[in-house]
Amino acid sequence: MAYSEGLHIGHRGWAKQGTAPAYWFGHGLGYTTFTVEDFSLADGGSGGDVNAVLTVRNTGNRDGKYLAQVYAAAPESGVERPVLWLAGFDTAVIPAGATLEVAVRLPARGFQYWEAARGWVNEDTPLSIAPASDAGRAAEALAGPLARQFSGIGFSGTTAPGASA
């Protein structure tokens, strides 16, 4: 049996094909609703990791568990990459009506690619990073107002889309 899809399996394959499954990766149901009000990135310290911080408000009437999902894309990459991928995630219980900062560590390895002769390689290419409620909403989020960009060669700050670094 040939596995010809390579990197493009699961939600990555659906995103590349431009078709939608019945339920996207990361889809979930709960008894409350949430809104991401702000999103920022900061240097994660040693090894090139990045810290993503989401400011999340529970807009419902019940306490709830929020699944913070942060997606990445590198449309200008010179190597084969997925159209978008899950860069990191974490959960937090947020009381009804409350706002909480949710931190998500984005490991540097998630922005690298494998090269047999050199191992894991950092590519000097722009990366877009954004929070989304599931993989089906990630492409829109990566082009939206909360999206942030930085170079894959190393974190040195972020810019909003269209802004210069």
Q: Which domain holds residue 88?
A: 32-151
Q: Is residue 49 part of a domain?
A: yes
The domain total for the chain is 1
Strands 113-115 vs 85-94: parallel, antiparallel or unpaired: unpaired
Q: Is residue 2 part of a domain?
A: no
- What is the pLDDT at residue 153? 63
Q: Is residue 110 part of a domain?
A: yes
> What distance in Å separates the CA atoms of residue 141 and residue 24, rounded to the nearest whole number?
15
Straight-line distance from the first to the last Cα atom of the chain, in angstroms, rounded to the nearest whole number: 47
Q: Is residue 135 part of a domain?
A: yes
Q: Is residue 23 part of a domain?
A: no
- What is the pLDDT at residue 161? 47
Q: Is residue 27 part of a domain?
A: no
> What distance in Å separates the CA atoms of residue 132 and residue 17, rounded to the nearest whole number?
19
Q: Is residue 126 part of a domain?
A: yes
Q: Is residue 129 part of a domain?
A: yes
Q: For each successive 10 residues of the chain (165 residues), what is the average pLDDT?
A: 79 81 85 96 86 97 97 94 95 98 95 92 92 94 94 58 43
Report the predicted TM-score, pTM, of the whole model to 2 decimal places: 0.88
- What is the pLDDT at residue 159? 47
Which CATH number is 68's domain given?
A: 2.60.40.10
